[in-house]
Amino acid sequence: MGTERTGKTPVVFYRTLAGTEVLRNWLRGLNEGDRNTIGQDLMRVQYRWPVGMPLCRPMGDGLWEVRSDLPSGRIARVLFSVQQGRILVLHGFIKKSRKTPDSDLGLARRRKKEFEP
């Protein structure tokens, strides 16, 4: 008991205090193919959690990234944490360099802390 899987981990998108879902807004700004690819990758994480490389990579301190290669030729990253049995999607960005920018990691970590007990 306790290790049995129900097959689906709930996904919750980060909301600002004003109620804005910043990641959903970011996704809406992408073209349909890129949006669908990221959505499919998030769904794979939702149904297969825990997932490792090449789809997910730990970023430290309970932060993970979903790694998406987009049809447009770009690379996207979605940062999330798993808290209280839910996948909390915190931040997304188009990757422009090999290293994940500290500003993106810092933003995701600040948002993650808002949900920690």
For the chain, which residues make up each domain, given as ranges?
11-110
- Pair type for strands 63-69 and 56-60: antiparallel
State mean pLDDT over 17-45. Answer: 96
Share of the chain above pLDDT 70, in %: 95
User: What band does 104 get if pLDDT is binned at 50, 70 and 90?
Assistant: very high
pLDDT of residue 106: 97
State mean pLDDT over 54-59. Answer: 96
State mean pLDDT over 78-91. Answer: 96
pLDDT of residue 6: 57
pLDDT at 5 over 80: no
pLDDT at 3 over 70: no
State mean pLDDT over 33-58. Answer: 96
pLDDT of residue 116: 83
Is the N-terminal amide bond of 50 cis, ω within 30° of 0?
yes
Q: Residue with structure tokens 């825990």?
A: 50
CA distance 8 to 11: 9
Question: Across all residues in the chain, what is the average pLDDT?
Answer: 93
